Amino acid sequence: MTPATSPDVDEPGEPGEPGEPVASPASPGTWCGQCGEALGGGDHAACARRSALEPPRWCAHCRRRMKVQVTPAAWTATCVAHGTVEHATWA
């Protein structure tokens, strides 16, 4: 059985895909990591405030829902197509 995918989601393995599921200055991504909507459409001020306190829930490059694990020391977010990123909560 093949898993169902949303028509808005790119398929994994496409050429030129970035290596991390979280947007960065070098690779800003197309989608908001907090709400999953397109960065070009709408106001994401609330998402920017939320991203200072919470890990991203959506991959910024393919709009897949990520598996997120939060511990007292760090959080990890995993996209099946782009891998895992970890961020320490104590900077």
Domain that holds residue 55: 19-91
Report if residue 3 sits inside a domain: no
The pLDDT of 53-74, averaged and rounded, is 94
pLDDT digits (tens, 9 = 90+) for 23-57: 777 777 899 999 999 998 889 999 999 988 899 99
Report if residue 87 sits inside a domain: yes
Report if residue 1 sits inside a domain: no
The encoded tokens of residue 57 equal: 């829930």
Report if residue 11 sits inside a domain: no
User: What is the chain written as a DSSP string?
Assistant: -PPP--TTSPPTT-TT--S-SS--SS---SB-TTT-SBTTSS--HHHHHHHTTS---B-TTT-PBPEEEE-SSEEEEEETTTEEEEEES--
pLDDT at site 5:
42
Q: How many domains does the chain have?
A: 1
pLDDT at site 19:
58
Instruction: Give Cα 22 to chain centroid, integer Å.
Output: 5
